[in-house]
Amino acid sequence: MRIHQVLVVSCAVMLGCAPMPLSPGRPMRSPVGFAAEKPDSPMLRRLENGHYRVKRPWTVNLNGRQWRVQKGYTCNGITGPASLRGPMGDGVDQPETWAAIFHDWLFTQPGISRAEADQLFHDLLVAYGVPAQKANLMYTAVRAYSLTKGLR
């Protein structure tokens, strides 16, 4: 899928033209199994190319599981043009970026499907206190992108 197609899907979702959730049989759910306080936030460094590097090991406790993102892991965070990344919460101190980095990292883990990574992305957004409507929007955009990966 080309970037303009991602933008069209994202815009359609933002304008309410796409049904939510996009994956039948895997409804968005409320996170379970994590403490009343927010999960730990990562220590990140923004690189010159706009990507992010994890500065120290980061432990994510979510849905009764513990994940450990290693120091030095690098990825682009929120995917898309800067005009969309900013409003979506791009930055080293933004929970939306933290969830995006965790989502990207999940793809490096054996046995994690795109659908599971997408759902954990949503759950982490909610756990970090991102408003439900924004978390659902971001989940839908990520899920739509993931579904296009299967069409290739």
Q: Model confidence over 3-23: pLDDT tens digits?
A: 444 444 454 444 443 434 434
C-alpha to C-alpha distance for 47 and 65, rounded to whole angstroms? 30
SS3 state of residue 26 = coil
Q: What are the structural domain ranges in the chain?
A: 3-149
C-alpha to C-alpha distance for 95 and 90, rounded to whole angstroms? 9
pTM of the full structure: 0.76
Q: Model confidence over 82-93: pLDDT tens digits?
A: 888 888 899 999
Looking at residue 81, the DSSP 8-state letter turns out to be -
Cβ pair 129, 95 in contact under 8 A: yes
What does the pLDDT average to over 30-46?
71
